Structures are given as structure tokens and as C-alpha cells.
Amino acid sequence: MVRHFAVWSTTFAIAAHTYIQACAFEVLDADTSFPEASACSSSADQQCRVLLQRKHARLAENALAGPHVCILARTCGPSSKCAPGENVNKSVSLTHAFLASIRAQVYESWELHLVNSEGGGEVFNGLLSSFKDMRFTNGPSSPNRFVRNTFGYDATNYALEQLLQGHGVQAPCSYFLFTNADNLYSQDFLKIGLESMQASYDLIGFNFVTKYKQTADSGQEIVGHRPMQHAGFVLGHIDLGAALVSAQAIQEAKARFPTEPGKVTVTDQWVGDVEHEKLNISDWLFFSSILKRPGSKGQKMMEELPFIHQ
């Protein structure tokens, strides 16, 4: 009797341990809180190693799920002159809201890189790690502060170059989303663009709410925080954060965001030729270089409005 009890007790203990371990894995999977390889230094730490295997398996699943989107989000430190909010608390709140809107994406094959627009190291480390989501990464940011203020375009080019070379990416980038870390996205943003990504368009645009004033066709002024009029890949009618850009198109066009001083004349379909400072229309010059590239796979504008520009 004692022998049978001992066997039963051992069997129950093993089953209970297995069940508890499985439950722990389920919770960690739901929270996407996986260890880094360096955390599994002990050969006896089997649970850590199993979790690390699950982390790699999930990354592989995401890569196989469909086009992988690399989100490059620019921001400045909460105490910087270019901080997203008027004080530290508001800067943190705005950045938290942005990150939450990305984490809520229904389409899950993405990774986010938070980039310091001014250079000189990473920002919002604590906030980013508080989400416990392995798809959130700080950087790549330039270790050195940029000499000139280029509105974050030097920082964008630096990070883009790193990611295109495969440095710091969790899976090869099929598409890029360039944005600022105070904008807001519908949970369906990437899902809406999925079919067009699978069709390999160079550029996939979305309608969006703009914070800027606009002029209606009648000439009447439209207050800010309204849907963009005539949204499309036309100067002044598309926001950088409202477009998915093919990584292949970027590489083949050698597209980068112009940061050099100087002026350029661009034809506006409504008012004719207009001279601009290059830096002021760097987004458009980037788009234009892709639209004009040999072998272009075209662009697609979505009718949905899943993005709020702040």
C-alpha cells in the first residue's frame, strides 16, 4: 500500500509540475514575455531554454505568416526640445498611446524600432520595456548626436540603413512603416494593407486624419483634425505615417530621405510649379524616387481611414 501511494504521489507531482509549467508558458505566451539568450546562462535552466525556443518559434511563425513589417518610429527624449508633449508626463502618455496602438495590431507579423531623432543614444527605455513585447526594440539610433536639426530624417536614414543590412531585425523586412511615435493607428491598419502587401505594390497608402488646416476645392478653409482631402500619392496629400513602403522598392531605387540644404521645384497639380526647401518636403521626395523607379510595381490607395496624424 505504501509503495502504491509513493508511486501515485510521484506521478501526481510530475503531472502537477507539468501542468503548472504549461500554464506558465501560456501566460508568458499571451504576454509575449520571453527571455533573452543571455538570461539562459545555466545549463540546468530548462524552463528558460524552452521559453527561448518558443521565442524563436514564434518569430519563425510570424515570418511565415505573411509580409513582415518593420515599423520605424521617430521620437525625441521626454525632456528634449522636440519632445512629443509639452512636458515629461504628456510625452510619456503620448508615446504610450502610440505603442499601445501598434501592439494592438490584428496582423501580428511586425516589429517596431523606436529611434532617437536627435541621435546620441536610446530614449524611453523604461516605457518600451514595460510592454514586455519582444517585437518592441529600442534603436538602432545613432550613438552620436546629429550636428544639424533635420527633423529626424538623418536618424531615419541611419536606422533604415541598419535594418536593410539585417542588423537588429527579428525577420527580414518586407515593408516599412515610417512614422512618429505620437501618432495613433487603428488595430486594423496593417490588416487592411495585407492584401496589397501580398500583391507586392511598391507603395500602399491610407486615408488619414491630419492635424493641419486644409483648403477645400471651393477655397474655403477647413479646420485641422479632419480627414485629408483628395488623399493620394501627391505632394501635400499623403503623410509619411500613412504609407507602407516595399523594402525591395527602397533598395532598388536606393531611396533615402534627402537632408542636404537646397531648393527643388516640384509641379503641383493644382497650382503649378512651386519651389520648396528640400528638407521641408523630404517625405515627398522619398516617395517620388520610388514612384519613378524603373520596374515600379505601382501604388495603391486604400479607402479606409485607420490613421490619426498628431
Tens digits of residue pLDDT in 34-90: 454 445 555 456 666 565 566 556 555 555 569 999 999 999 999 899 999 999 999
Asked if the structure places residue 103 within a domain, the reply is yes
Asked if the structure places residue 39 within a domain, the reply is no
Asked if the structure places residue 11 within a domain, the reply is no
pLDDT, tens digit, 9 for 90 and up, residues 89-139? 999 999 999 999 999 999 999 999 999 999 998 999 999 999 999 999 999
Q: What is the CATH number of the domain that holds 97?
A: 3.90.550.10
Name the one residue in this structure whose C-alpha cell is 479646420. Answer: 223
Asked if the structure places residue 288 within a domain, the reply is no
Asked if the structure places residue 132 within a domain, the reply is yes
Total structural domains within the chain: 1
Asked if the structure places residue 92 within a domain, the reply is yes
Confidence band for 6, pLDDT divided at 50, 70 and 90: very low
User: Residue 89 sits in which domain range?
Assistant: 62-251+295-308
Asked if the structure places residue 52 within a domain, the reply is no
Confidence band for 12, pLDDT divided at 50, 70 and 90: very low
